[in-house]
């Protein structure tokens, strides 16, 4: 079980990093379309989800380091 926790840790870490790379790119495309609602919505999405994705990466990092083994 602990090996699986560690292996999946790579998935959470990679998922978080991929999201951090993709989200601003996609948001910029939407914002460039110039719709007022899109500007607010996608700005908020970036503002909110970047820290969450950082959190997911950190969770993955902790899992790889075995921080959740004893739970």
Copy the structure tokens of residue 48: 């909110």
Note the residues at the interface with another protein (CB under 8 A).
1, 4-5, 8, 12, 36-37, 40-41, 44, 47-49, 52, 55-56, 58-59, 62-63, 67-68, 71
Least CB distance to another protein at residue 25 (A): 16
* Closest CB 17 distance from another protein, rounded Å: 15
Q: Cβ of residue 21: shortest distance to another protein, in angstroms?
A: 18
Alpha-carbon distance of 68 to 71, in angstroms, equals 6
**Backbone torsions φ then ψ of 70, nearest 5 degrees:** -90, 5
Distance CA 47, CA 66 (A): 30
């Amino acid at each position: 079980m602990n090996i699986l926790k560690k292996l999946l840790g790579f998935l959470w870490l990679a998922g978080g990093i991929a999201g951090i790379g993709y989200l601003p790119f996609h948001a910029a495309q939407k914002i460039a379309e110039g719709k007022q609602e899109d500007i607010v919505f996608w700005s908020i999405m970036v503002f909110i989800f970047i820290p969450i994705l950082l959190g997911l990466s950190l969770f993955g990092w902790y899992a790889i380091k075995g921080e959740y083994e004893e739970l």
